[in-house]
Amino acid sequence: MDFGWKILIPIALGWFLLLAALREFSPDGEFGDSLRVVLISFGVAIVAVAMFGAALRVSARNRSDAFDAENPSGDTPSRSTQNGATV
């Protein structure tokens, strides 16, 4: 389910936007116009992926800082086991 929501749906939406841009900005199907639209779309995609990666790093850093604030001794929380199952 994660694969569908996190990978396939964004790819499908990106493909849809690329096709819409090609129809709008290259109605005659000329190669030069189509190539320009595809290159601009790839540039936008690269910037979007970089921004998403930066947001994930900031989010991970904030979670790490919050964990450090809750656990100042630096100990990792212990888990108890009961009949072989982690509780």
pTM of the model: 0.55
Residues β-bridged to residue 81:
86
For residues 56 and 70, the model is more confident at 56
User: Tens digit of pLDDT for each residue in 8-56?
Assistant: 888 889 889 888 888 888 878 788 888 888 888 888 889 888 888 888 8
Phi-psi region of 37 (alpha: psi -120 to 50; beta: other; left: phi over 0): alpha
Tell me which DSSP letter residue 75 carries.
P
Please state, rounded to an integer, the average pLDDT across all residues of the chain.
79
At 68 the pLDDT is 64
Contacts of 77 (CB under 8 A, 6+ apart): 71
